[in-house]
């Protein structure tokens, strides 16, 4: 290392360097791209810190961070909040360490209690002092065959029966763009309320379609009404479904199963080699549902820096601390939940 320094991407002068670096980094997610900085900033308003490790003027690593402050949930940094993946990309362990150290120094200087790095891969070195690894999440990814019949024959007869049932009950599948967001949000808002979770603002999804590349909206309708949906994002030969929802009142017609099967068919026909069904808690209900589609389980590596005396955070609906709030939220009128939810969830990463 001739001259290693950590610089912040504070203006547009280095943006091209950042984009070039993440385009070629083998572990980069689509969320490392700068358009996602704009999506999160416009949808939630949080301050971002994009750090670059440079050695003799050449970019050798990057780390996108979003700073979050809340009187209810505390002060912390996440890479990246509201999304499945983030974390440090680096050419060598020394650059990884330099970025982790710079992030911890920044958090301490800003008075934050913790940092959460949502990485899809293990750090090159064991977590340094003050950092802990947690592996409570996994990504479920289907390796795709060009012929969807290969996937169909691998499904259980019970699951195939549910898809056929949906086909016979007036259910349709379509692929569109931002024009279908109102229908998608109608289902998404109800689904989140029924789960006891505050819903994102429609602005998140509007900005996804405004700034993200290769986004599509998958929508299932039954008898003409929206019943299930997903937002699909593409990077190269990989398609991700980070947001999936269904109307529980339509569950008896297997609309969710119909959505997943048609998403697989669509991804195959688009030439994708992988379909990422999104992250979920290991062995939870969502995990078990997704395992029906024969995905590969890819453990995720979430690293935490903790200030002195701070315990690992648990900002999850499964935390017993929030059990009463979750029960009350499920009973809230949908219109009220959709109105107040965005102001709460903007501080829950």
Structure tokens at 163: 């898809």
Structure tokens at 239: 């398609």
Which residue carries 């992250």 as its tokens?
279
Q: Is 163 helix (H, G, I), strand (E, B) or coil?
A: helix
DSSP state of 1: -
Distance CA 13, CA 26 (A): 24
Distance CA 185, CA 183 (A): 5
What's the pTM? 0.93
DSSP state of 169: T
- Side-chain half-sphere exposure of 193, counting CA atoms within 13 A: 20
Annotate 86-100 with b (16+ C-beta within 10 A) or e (fewer): bbbbbbeebbbbbbb
Per-residue pLDDT 10s for the chain (349 aa) are 567 888 888 766 789 999 999 999 999 999 999 999 999 999 999 999 999 999 998 999 999 999 999 888 899 999 999 999 999 999 999 999 999 999 999 999 999 999 999 999 999 876 666 799 999 999 999 999 999 999 999 999 999 999 999 999 999 999 999 999 999 999 999 999 999 999 999 999 999 999 998 999 999 999 999 999 999 999 999 999 999 999 999 999 999 999 999 999 999 999 999 999 999 999 989 999 999 999 999 999 999 999 988 888 876 667 777 788 889 999 999 999 999 999 999 999 8
Structure tokens at 234: 């593409």
Distance CA 303, CA 312 (A): 10
Q: Which pLDDT value is given to residue 127? A: 65
Q: Which pLDDT value is given to residue 128? A: 67
DSSP assignment of 256-279 equals: HHHHHHHHHHHHHHTT-SEEEEEE
Of 116, 120, 93, 92, nearest to 103 by C-alpha is 116
Q: Which pLDDT value is given to residue 310? A: 85
Distance CA 96, CA 123 (A): 8
Annotate 296-327 with b (16+ C-beta within 10 A) or e (fewer): eeeebbbbbbbbeeeeebebeeeeeebeeeee
Inter-CA distances, 103 with 67, 76, 295, Å: 11, 11, 34
Q: What is the largest CA-CA distance in the chain?
A: 67
Distance CA 204, CA 44 (A): 8
């Amino acid at each position: 290392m001739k001259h290693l320094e950590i610089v912040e991407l504070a203006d547009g002068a280095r943006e091209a360097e950042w984009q070039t670096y993440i385009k070629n980094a083998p572990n980069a997610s689509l969320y490392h791209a700068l358009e996602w900085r704009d999506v999160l900033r416009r949808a939630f308003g949080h301050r971002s810190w994009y750090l670059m490790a440079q050695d003799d003027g050449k970019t050798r690593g990057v780390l996108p961070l979003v700073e979050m402050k809340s009187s209810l949930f505390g002060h912390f940094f996440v890479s990246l909040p509201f999304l499945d993946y983030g974390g440090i990309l680096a050419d060598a362990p020394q650059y990884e360490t330099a970025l982790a150290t710079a992030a911890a120094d920044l958090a301490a200087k800003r008075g934050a209690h913790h940092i959460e790095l949502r990485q899809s891969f293990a750090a090159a070195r064991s977590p340094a002092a003050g950092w802990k690894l947690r592996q409570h999440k996994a990504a479920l990814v289907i390796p795709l065959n060009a012929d969807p019949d290969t996937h169909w024959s691998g499904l259980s007869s019970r699951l195939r029966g549910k898809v056929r049932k949906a086909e016979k009950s007036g259910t349709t599948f379509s692929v569109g763009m931002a024009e279908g967001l109102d229908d998608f949000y109608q289902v998404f808002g109800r689904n989140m309320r029924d789960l006891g979770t505050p819903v994102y603002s429609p602005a998140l999804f509007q900005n996804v379609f405004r700034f993200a590349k290769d986004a599509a909206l998958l929508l299932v309708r039954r008898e003409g009404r929206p019943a299930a949906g997903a937002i699909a994002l593409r990077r190269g030969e990989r398609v991700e479904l980070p947001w999936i929802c269904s109307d529980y009142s339509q569950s008896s017609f297997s609309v969710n199963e119909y959505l997943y099967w048609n998403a697989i068919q669509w991804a195959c026909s688009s030439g994708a080699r992988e379909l990422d069904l999104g992250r979920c808690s290991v062995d939870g209900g969502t995990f078990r549902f997704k395992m029906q589609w024969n995905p590969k389980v890819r453990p995720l590596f979430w690293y935490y820096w903790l200030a002195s005396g701070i315990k690992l955070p648990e900002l999850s609906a499964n935390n017993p601390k929030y059990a009463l709030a979750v029960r009350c939220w499920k009973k809230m009128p949908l219109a009220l939940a959709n109105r107040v939810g965005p102001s709460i969830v903007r501080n829950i990463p």
